[in-house]
Amino acid sequence: MGATFFFLSKIALGSQPIIWELQTLTRIDSAGFALFCDYLYQMQKQGQPQQLVNVPKQLLTLADLFGLSHWLKPFLL
């Protein structure tokens, strides 16, 4: 997984938004949520637009628990 993130962080994505289709995400723990949020944040710092589609309730619950709902809201479609 780390190699994938490294690869994606090195390519020039441009102004096309990254669409995160999360419909098949059936389970996420706090470590996975933290990693996902870190990746969103790093791409956000680079000015890369991103959109989250079909976000599972469990991910939204973790965002509430960690106080990140406000931060995550602009990514949601």
Residues 69 and 57: their CA atoms lie apart, in Å, by 12
Instruction: Report residue 3's pLDDT band, with 50, 70 and 90 as the boundaries.
Output: very low
CB 22 within 8 A of CB 53: yes
Residues 8 and 33: their CA atoms lie apart, in Å, by 18
Instruction: Report residue 2's pLDDT band, with 50, 70 and 90 as the boundaries.
Output: very low
User: What is the predicted pLDDT for the residue at 36?
Assistant: 96
Residues 26 and 7: their CA atoms lie apart, in Å, by 25
Residue 45: is its pLDDT beyond 60? yes
**Residues 17, 43, 66: CA angle, nearest 5 degrees:** 110
Q: What is the mean pLDDT of residues 35-41?
A: 95
Residue 1: is its pLDDT beyond 50? no
